[in-house]
Amino acid sequence: MTHEQSPQAEDQPLDRQDDLALVKAIQNGDRDATSELLQRHQDRLYGVCLRMVNDREWAADLTQDAMVKIIQGIDSFDGRASPSTWMIRITMNVCLSWHRSQKLRRHISLGGGGGIGEGSGGKKRGGWEAGLQIGEPGPSSGVQDKERRRLVVVGLGQVSDDQRAILVLRDVRSMEYEQIADVLGIAVGTVKSRLFRARAALRSAVEALMKENGSTAEAEPGQTDGSTQSG
């Protein structure tokens, strides 16, 4: 699996038509079309998982789970959403379910070691500070920019799962409000109000981290991957 690190346009017209043709072929029993569809989208699905769980191993596992669910549910695809949006919806649901199971396991263990930093077999995995590599700063960037981006990543791990989801979809994946509404099953107006609150929560988390660490980096809202997003 290639590991995409930069946002992609979600649905160019040609991509959507190609995807629709592949979905129809799969529904008609074409196994080759199954592989092609998954190969086309595995990077962006992995990118969603990585930013939702901030651990490369878990992200790869969850991407595989999501792709299994996509193929299992392909016959139910009705074309009301684009194939890309439909697949991201399934992937996001897989990630949110994973977070719920992790919280339940932490609750049951009463602090006995289970949680976001460990696998099911007790294997230690990287946490929010270590798991997501957002890249080295470019020639025009400096130490402060790198530190700010690091704090944003850590802050992203401190907001709620629902807030993280909407930040990933909008500010990382650059999805339109209508697409986000379809992925999360909410109204467009709700998307906008939740996004506002999520950005405020992230800003507060980053500012708290800056005070804690004595950082001089500037907190900027709406930036979950080091890039400015409008909206």
The reply to whether 26 and 71 lie within a common domain is yes
Q: What is the pTM of this model?
A: 0.74
The reply to whether 78 and 24 lie within a common domain is yes
The reply to whether 53 and 162 lie within a common domain is no
Range of the domain at 225: 135-231
Share of the chain above pLDDT 90, in %: 53
Among 133, 153, 175, which residue terminates a domain? 133
What CATH number is given to the structural domain containing 40?
A: 1.10.1740.10
pLDDT digits (tens, 9 = 90+) for 22-81: 999 999 999 899 999 999 999 999 999 999 998 999 999 999 999 999 999 999 998 888
Token representation of residue 218: 């500037």
pLDDT digits (tens, 9 = 90+) for 98-135: 998 887 777 676 555 444 444 433 343 444 443 333 33
Distance CA 163, CA 160 (A): 5
Distance CA 208, CA 155 (A): 9
Among 83, 98, 133, which residue terminates a domain? 133
The reply to whether 54 and 34 lie within a common domain is yes
The reply to whether 96 and 17 lie within a common domain is yes
Distance CA 102, CA 126 (A): 15
Helix axes of 13-27 and 83-109: crossing angle, nearest 10 degrees: 80
